Amino acid sequence: MHYVHIIALLAIVQFIYFGILVGQARGKYGIKAPAMTGNEHFERAARVQMNTLEQLVCFIPALLIAAVYWPPVYVAGVGVVYLAGRMIYQQAYVADPAKRGLGFLLTFLPTLLLALAGLLGAVMRSLA
């Protein structure tokens, strides 16, 4: 399970990093709190962070539940794809939001796979 815990914690660190980027963009573009608009580049950074938070709500529980029923090293491998997908998403969204598709898919599909794996594992266990 330690691989799964490492992935979960890296996902949290990645989210914190995206938050730091939002803070830097706030300073760079002169967006004073609590404003969330005013510069497109700031808004892109903020949207990446918020979308990552939205994804984490599904990803972390799905990761941890799937690891109860399936080999943790494989579950962690799926989590690595999620982390890479988030980085691709961040880089693409900041550069051109229209090109975020690959990063989004590499985030959404691992989360969906983990959720389905966790559900299947729980159902199979309950029937045994």
Q: How many domains would you assign to the chain?
A: 1
SS (H, E, C) the chain: CHHHHHHHHHHHHHHHHHHHHHHHHHHHCCCCCCCCCCCHHHHHHHHHHHHHHHHHHHHHHHHHHHHHHCCHHHHHHHHHHHHHHHHHHHHHHHHCHHHCHHHHHHHHHHHHHHHHHHHHHHHHHHHC
Domain CATH number, residue 37: 1.20.120.550
Phi, psi (5° rounding) for residue 106?
-75, -5
- Domain range enclosing 78: 2-127
Answer whether 46's CB lies under 8 Å from 18's CB.
no
What are 74-104's pLDDT values in tens digits?
999 999 999 999 999 999 999 999 999 999 9
pLDDT at residue 114 above 90?
Answer: yes
What are 5-50's pLDDT values in tens digits?
999 999 999 999 999 999 999 999 999 999 999 999 999 999 999 9
pTM of the model: 0.95
